[in-house]
Amino acid sequence: MATETRAPLRLGLIGCGNISNAYFRGLKPFPHLIKIVACADLDVPRAQAKAAEHQVARGGSVDELLADPTVDLILNLTIPGAHAEVNRQALAAGKHVYCEKPFALTYADGVKTLEAARAKGLRIGCAPDTVLGQGIQTCRRLIDEGAIGEPVAATANMMGHGPESWHPNPAFYYQVGGGPLFDMGPYYLTALVTMLGPMKSVSALARMSFAERLITSKPFHGTRVKVETPTHLCAAVEFQRGGIGTVSMSFDVWQHGAPMLEIYGTEGSIQCPDPNNFGGEVRLWTPKTDKWENVPVHQPEPIGRGLGVADFADALATGRPHRQGAELALHVVEVMESFHTSSDSGRRQELQSTCEQPAAMPPGIPFKAKL
């Protein structure tokens, strides 16, 4: 039987900031699935320059891109505070959407976006796609195969002293919608849901340890930034399947020795790699070996940003569910918002949302083009 040939999905990229370069590069291995036909930014000259740099046909305004009938899919790389609004504008224009994390800054705003997609019969997906890499996917496979028995607990810890020493424009990290939770939390929480399924409730404490932060990176070296959002959060989470977890997110810690991400079961433990990356070392301990052992990961070559977009395009072409779906992203938003609500109220928060645990990725990348 002859294989059906499908035209690649025509993608328009909105938001030509630093992260856009990673997507321009990361989508190159998938020319049979994705063709970037246009890019846009509020700063039109920047969009035009980015189009020239990456050999994209058109660079222009956001309104022009949204009105372009040749664009099938919008890749939304705008600032977090604009994600929900731009997503809904794209849906209203009849485009499928894939956006950077977080899906929204509030659960209510995320619900509006999901309802808009359903009303239009359009698909919407959301980063992070690092969980599709063979680091977290190897951990998922071990859990699914029963290597550690029944999962009973997990811990996730992202702790450092903030981005003001290295990021070129770090002020937004300390504004509402920023902080370590909404910036880095999606990587860790999405990884936990990918491996253990959705969560049921959360209980958290949060604080702002410093009223101001001093930027030491260029070009804003010496500028002081007012802190408007919690910068140190600790939470306990309950999974729907019965396990519990602890999560710490901080921009207030100079150094620590806590594990980045570990899963504990009735028959062993897994040390997971950094969920902000696609690969990394996976280690397994069981009573049988009585030691930590490295587990081979099946990743034949480096993977970059864009894997989730490629999975989205392949899923759209074949009719299967895409892995980084809006329900998953919305669930993570509610978990993060509930951390803040729990801390403010002093009460445990039962979650309203749920999602399907995303399908596991097979070894390698089955929908990658042979270049």
Query: 368 pairs with which residues across the strands?
Result: none
d(CA 270, CA 288): 14
Kindly state which CATH superfamily the domain 131-299+332-350 is placed in.
Dihydrodipicolinate Reductase; domain 2 (3.30.360.10)
Of 283, 314, 279, 281, residue with least CA distance to 299? 279
Report the chain's C-alpha Rg in angstroms: 21
pLDDT at 3 over 60: no
Across the range 294-323, mean pLDDT stands at: 86
pLDDT of amino acid 122? 98
| % of the chain beyond a pLDDT of 90 | 89
Residue spans of the domains in the chain: they are 9-129+305-322, 131-299+332-350
Write out the H or E segment, with its range, that includes residue 207. Answer: strand 199-207
pLDDT of amino acid 309? 96
pLDDT band per the 50, 70, 90 thresholds, residue 5: low
pLDDT band per the 50, 70, 90 thresholds, residue 366: low
pLDDT band per the 50, 70, 90 thresholds, residue 75: very high
pLDDT of amino acid 18? 85
Identical topology for domains 9-129+305-322 and 131-299+332-350: no
Q: Is 41 exposed, middle or buried (0-12, 13-18, 19+ CB in 10 A)?
A: buried
pLDDT band per the 50, 70, 90 thresholds, residue 369: low
- Which fold, 9-129+305-322? Rossmann fold (3.40.50)
Residue type, 183: D
Across the range 93-99, mean pLDDT stands at: 98
pLDDT of amino acid 304? 81
pLDDT of amino acid 301? 56
Whether residue 259 has a cis bond before it, omega within 30° of 0: no
Of 371, 351, 365, residue with least CA distance to 110? 351
pLDDT of amino acid 371? 36
pLDDT band per the 50, 70, 90 thresholds, residue 66: very high
